[in-house]
Amino acid sequence: MQVEYLSAFNVVLGVLTRFWPVWIALALVMGASFGYKKKLGLYGQLFDSGVGIVGVGICLFWLFTAIFASTVAPFDPLAQVPIMKDALPGAIDPQSGLAYLFGGDKLARDVFSRMVYGSQIVLIIAPAATGFALMVGITLGLPAGYYGGKIDTVLSFLANLVLAFPVILLFYLLVTPGIMDTPIPYAMAGLFFLFPIIFFSVLFWTRYKNRPDRLYILLGLTLVVGGWIYAGLVFDADPFKIIHIDPNQLNIFVAVVFASSPGVFRIVRGLVMDIKTRDYVAAAQTRGESPWYIMLWEILPNARGPLIVDACLRIGYTTILLGTLGYFGLGLAPESPDWGTAIKDASRLLRSFIHPALPPTIALMSFVLGLNLLADSLREQSMKD
């Protein structure tokens, strides 16, 4: 049977039309943000510079691609159509009549659909892992910077210990199949996922200590929601079966949080040491506020600018880390459509076929570039104030 091909122009047109839900969503959000940019604070100011618009645009593009992946992708990411093995871009599948827009890989899967579904994995794990790393880093960095002394020495030593590990060695040690048989990943997950619950409990306790009506609602909400997610993630014991994480993904998640939280810790510690000399901190101390109130409600809000910028950069860095894990075949399933695994598979066959390699590399690069541009323009805007 002869495989027919689309022309290059039709391939480009086909790709653009496949992304139709993304374009509509992008137009709506960008249009709305542009219209109301005066009222949107820091986010609105991003639309003042070209770099900011491009950064927001790229990030939103991948966000919507991940959300609408099942509509955008014409094929299942794992489906194999034997005749399309190593097919060149634009080959038409004779059965369904749909085209393999970016061609097929060595296992006859659609490269385009895999790239689209790969965005889902990256956009779930990278921001979530960054969020947890921020929680861990902030909860430990605040007391280290504020109290100094012994706490600081011990915590800084531990942070430097992790930072002295080359990332790749850390991953080889922590993300091996063998380690899943030991309790280590679950113990680490249990420890790391405790931090958000502690953080929010202390946050509400210090603020609403004297207003029990508010306090009990917020504290109860934190413990119920936090405990529910905690049970689902660490023990896989969600009573409603909504929150579920694959043991493999849990392992990756824990390793990524472990590798990036010391960086957050160092930044938070530095910021706190700078901010605690300000007058408003002295004023709060004179008022007799508790140390944790000062850390969480006086210092932390004033450190938010650099932290937001760092979070943006860190999501990009986490994406690169996930790609590294995929590239070395660690943790993620071998047939997983994530970008790193796809790059690994394709780079081994570069001598014969180059088309499966380009979509995932360009996807990963553009997403990280978008985040970096976003961070850069956020930094510029926050420096203007």
Partner 1 sequence: MLSFVIRRLGTMALTMLCLTMIVFFLVNLGPNLKKLAISQTEMHTSAEQLEAWLVNHGYRQNFFIRYGQWLGVMPKQPVTDPATGKPAQRFSFCNDPVVPTFSGILQGDFGCSTKFKTTVASKLFPALSATGILMLCVLAVMVPVSLLIGILAGMREGSRTDRTLSVASIASTATPEYVSGVIFTVIFASWLGVLNGSAASASQGITFYNFTLPVMTLAIYGIGYIARMTRASMVEVMTQQYIRTARLKGLSFGSVVIKHALRNALIAPFTVIMLQFPWLLTGVVIVEVMFRYQGFGYTLVEAAGNNDIDLLLGCSLVSVFIVLITQLISDVGYAFLNPRIRVQ
- List contacts with partner 1 (CB under 8 A): 51, 157, 160-161, 163-169, 172-174, 176-179, 181-182, 184, 316, 320, 323-324, 327-328, 340, 343-344, 346-347, 350-351, 354, 357-358, 361, 364-365, 368-369, 371-373, 376
Nearer to partner 1 (CB atom), residue 192 or residue 293: 192
Least distance in angstroms from the C-beta of 167 to partner 1: 5
C-alpha 185/C-alpha 258 separation (Å) is 11
Q: How far is CA 99 from the centre of its chain?
A: 31
Residue 235: Cβ within 10 Å count = 11
Q: Residue 64: what residue type? A: F
Least distance in angstroms from the C-beta of 321 to partner 1: 9
Least distance in angstroms from the C-beta of 260 to partner 1: 13
Least distance in angstroms from the C-beta of 49 to partner 1: 10
Whole-Å CA distances, 202 to 116, 222, 345, 348: 40, 10, 46, 50
Helix (H) or strand (E) holding 227: helix 212-234
Nearer to partner 1 (CB atom), residue 219 or residue 273: 273
Whole-Å CA distances, 137 to 101, 196, 197, 198, 211: 43, 11, 14, 13, 29
Nearer to partner 1 (CB atom), residue 79 or residue 173: 173
Nearer to partner 1 (CB atom), residue 151 or residue 162: 162
Q: How far is CA 259 from the centre of its chain?
A: 14
Question: Residue 196, exposed/middle/buried by CB under 10 A (0-12, 13-18, 19+)?
Answer: buried
Least distance in angstroms from the C-beta of 198 to partner 1: 25
Nearer to partner 1 (CB atom), residue 138 or residue 322: 322
